[in-house]
A = this chain, B = another copy of it.
């Protein structure tokens, strides 16, 4: 019988994260202080992050050791399986070999825990007793809730009010793991109060929730803030995904031609992609690394490379990124984790240097791919992950046309069991695509022109 899953043992959990900055010819541009517009000093970040995290954020070291305590906790679910998608291959009648890394088996259902655990660890190490964060649909909030609970750190999660009310499952997951979940905008911060004063029925946004979480962290003793995507240290932590997959493909006797991750802020794409991109940068290989983003939020395919804020209201440092502008309001697609206006700085530089490929995918195509995957491989994928599946299916069809047995790897960043209402809408024929006109994109991108003098 053919092997379906390639499993590693716990001793194969990587000893170090891979920092791609070390191998980039053009390093990412520095973040700028939002007020002075001068390059940020590490100390500027100390109000919100612990020193070890800031160090990782700024580091150019190639390998950064994973603390034993973190590896110990990774063992709760890692290493994750690498699975041969033989059912999907058969359904597509493709000569391609398709593999996926199943990050959905984590207790929180996604890859987000890979960074939540080290972030909480470094905060704990510095004596921090309380953390704050924001969450939209709740993937990051659940991961941080579980991680905080493991280390005995209390957590406040500002959850966008509309999700808090309409999508209670992930809220209850966070509460089960002991987190304090607050509907944002709230009366617990000045930012929240001022918005509620103007508009008592405001249903919230990720931008507002970030403002509340940062304000709370800055004003509360012994408290820091934590973020689940975009930043360099998050991408760093996620490289355990690709490092494990590399070892697993080797066991399978394969080397990938194509590596695919869905793209929101960059955490899961970086995780699966960077360890393979290293072979291109260092060993002259030519693996195609593809970021698959939603058609409705096409920062990498149609955005502009500029300095921009990470949040909507303009409180964060200015980051050099492919962006649709911080005013960009993404359509209400179901892949909530991909509804973000900008890309992380490392990915943006790689894109600028044509070291990665990008593509945007219509929502209906992603759900068609998700359904086919569920029917052939079992797992119902998260709407985010379905973007990577759709991209893999495109490549597998091309491989069939060309008659070439390419090896395709994608990351299944999470399962979709908390997103069944989205599948319900799709199965009922009520879902639509959101294609943007150039005018719609130019409107918010234009606002960037005067940000930097």
Give chain A's interface residues, CB within 8 Å of chain B.
1, 3-5, 7, 9-11, 68, 71-72, 75-77, 87, 105-109, 146, 149-150, 168-169, 172-173, 175-178, 371, 374-375, 377-380, 417-418, 420-421, 423-424, 427
Is the Cβ of B378 less than 8 Å from the Cβ of A424?
no
Residue A377 contacts which of B71, B76, B378, B380 (CB distance < 8 angstroms)?
B76
Residues on B with beta carbons closer than 8 Å to the beta carbon of A420: 168-169, 172-173, 176
**Is B374 a contact of A168 with CB atoms below 8 Å?**
no
In whole Å, how far is A105's beta carbon from the nearest beta carbon of chain B?
A: 5
Q: Contacts A7-B9, A169-B420, A417-B169: A375 and B178 contacting too (C-beta < 8 A)? A: yes
- CB-defined contacts of A173 to chain B, threshold 8 Å: 380, 417, 420, 423
CB pair B10–A5 under 8 Å, yes or no, is yes
Which chain B residue lies CB-closest to A375? B149
Instruction: Give Cα distance in the complex from A423 to B168, angstroms.
Output: 11
Chain B hits for A424, CB < 8 A: 168, 172, 175
Q: Are A378 and B107 in contact (CB under 8 A)?
A: yes
Check if B427 sits within 8 Å of A172, measured CB to CB: yes
Q: When chains A and B are docked, how far (Å) is the Cα of A77 from the Cα of B418?
A: 20
CB–CB A107/B380 < 8 A: yes
CB pairs A–B below 8 angstroms (24 shown): A1-B72, A1-B75, A3-B10, A5-B10, A7-B9, A76-B377, A77-B378, A106-B378, A107-B377, A107-B378, A107-B380, A146-B378, A169-B420, A172-B423, A172-B424, A172-B427, A173-B417, A173-B420, A173-B423, A175-B423, A176-B371, A176-B374, A178-B375, A417-B418
| Contact with A417, one of B1, B11, B109, B150 (Cβ below 8 angstroms) | B109
A374 to B375 alpha-carbon distance, docked (Å) = 29
Give the Cβ gap from A8 to chain B, nearest Cβ, in Å: 9
Q: Which of B71, B108, B175, B371 contacts A427 (CB 8 A)?
A: B175
| Distance, CA A313 to CA B192, complexed state (A) | 57
Instruction: Known A-B contacts: A107-B380, A173-B417, A176-B427. Give 17 more (CB < 8 A).
Output: A1-B75, A4-B72, A4-B75, A5-B10, A76-B377, A77-B378, A106-B378, A107-B374, A108-B378, A168-B420, A168-B424, A172-B424, A176-B371, A176-B423, A177-B375, A178-B375, A417-B418
Chain B residues, CB < 8 A from A427? 172, 175-176
User: Which residue in B9, B172, B178, B421 is a CB contact (below 8 Å) of A421?
Assistant: B172
A427 to B176, CA, bound (A): 7
When C-beta atoms are compared, the residue in chain B nearest to A11 turns out to be: B1
Minimum CB–CB distance from A218 to chain B (whole Å) comes to: 29
| A332 shortest CB reach to chain B, Å | 19
Q: How far is the CB of A322 from chain B (nearest CB, A)?
A: 33
Q: Complex formed: what's the CA distance from A446 to B176 in Å?
A: 42
Residue of B nearest to A169 (CB): B420
> Which residues does chain B contribute within 8 Å of A176, judged by CB atoms?
371, 374-375, 380, 420, 423, 427
Indicate if the CB atoms of A177 and B146 lie closer than 8 Å.
Answer: no
Instruction: Report which residue of A76, A172, A375, A424 has the largest number of chain B beta carbons within 10 angstroms of its beta carbon.
Output: A172
A48 to B106, CA, bound (A): 39
CB distance from A68 to the nearest CB of B (A): 7
Query: Measured between alpha carbons, how far is A377 from B172 in the docked complex, in Å?
Result: 17
